[in-house]
Amino acid sequence: MSFWINAIFLACTKLSAALVITCSIQRRRCRSCAAAAFVCYTLFSVLCNRFVLQNTSLGLWLLTELLSILFMSLFIGTIVTCGLWGNLYLSNWTLTFYQFVFSVALLTENGDPTSSINIFASLPVYLLFYTLFAVLISKRLTTDGILNINGKQFLITFLTTSPVNLFNHIMFVRNNFDVSNSMLIFSTVFAYGCCLFALYLQRILTLQASLSNELSVVEQLWQQSHLQYEISSSNLEHINRTVHDMMHKLSRLYNMNDEQERREYLDSLSYSFVLYDAFLQTGNKALDTILTEKNLYCKNQHISFKCVADGSRLDFMDTADIYTIFNSAIDNAITYVLRLDDFEKRIVSVRVSSTGNLLSVSVENYCESDNAPVIYGYGLKSILYVVNKYDGSLDVSAADHLFTVHIIIPYVK
């Protein structure tokens, strides 16, 4: 009876380690699949403890290790969404972490390690290390609850842990699986501790390299925003020249006798009036350029573009930063409303105001549901990059068929 209690306990602690490792990753909601995978892994673990645990065959041990990773990745795949390589990567992490805690727990046991009394005596050790890992390390393995792992990253972790597992197995075989040998257990704890540290260091370096690449892309986008602003500014100057030419055309219109020529002039004047109607003045040249450009585009796409903006409070911001914020936020709103077939629902609203020493920027658009998609990709990263630069805050929400991007930035005089 004590064997079955011990085997089930060990299986449960392994699966609990998986829950700890994945506690900061976005969850699936298939509880029945998770329960089935939980039962399958428990049965597999019990069978391994019954027939394989103290078997000296290296080939059988290798097969068991591979199957353990596969079964664990199957269970992890039912509770989180991180793809095949992510599941294998997390299963490798889980089994290594479990072996470390299990080795530490062996140091607290006295006598027969299969005794149920020793199981309950080692339970606080599992609780302590699982809690510490969940609080201190788990969140550092992901980026905002998302784990992106490729085959190369999994292979590196697998090649890191495999020699440690092989060394541990050989040491136990040579000592006839004597868990009362303190030096053997200490060496196992040290080996798996170093292995965990290596895995953690690899993950941190990978995340830092990824963040560095993203920052480089954001900076390139920032530079492109500055170039796009220059282009838009030249377009605005073209509008001003067109409006100026319109005045001359009006004066010439009075002296025209040819009807065809008169109609051509009237058509060109109509286009000039459209340009003039799209021109927005907010008190900030950069903002005027952006809003006028977006207003012209919205008119051509049958989008109602509403704007109430006091741009005079934006003078403390760099021109490229202003362009990055408004261009990304407005483009996101336009992209969404263009999907709507009903032209009356194609509404984009921009508000810029200030209260005290706080600058408020809101970009809103109609959305069909409260679960409308938010800004994604480097558009959001570009906005965050600029907002963080000015110690501001960004809030994205969808409620009452209204999708809102709200930015608060401390005003600097």
Tens of pLDDT, residues 63-119: 888 888 888 888 888 888 788 888 899 999 998 999 899 888 887 765 444 455 466
Residue 324 pLDDT class (50, 70, 90 cuts): confident
Q: What is the pLDDT of residue 351?
A: 93
Least confident of 68-82, 167-181, 218-232, 390-404: 218-232
pLDDT digits (tens, 9 = 90+) for 144-198: 667 778 888 889 888 988 888 888 878 877 777 777 777 888 888 899 999 999 9
- Going by pLDDT thresholds of 50, 70 and 90, the confidence category of residue 299 is confident
* Domains of the chain with CATH codes: 2-180 (no CATH), 217-410 (3.30.565.10)
Residues 6+ apart with CB under 8 A from 302: 343, 346
Q: Is 66 exposed, middle or buried (0-12, 13-18, 19+ CB in 10 A)?
A: exposed
pLDDT of residue 292: 81
Q: What is the pLDDT of residue 176?
A: 74
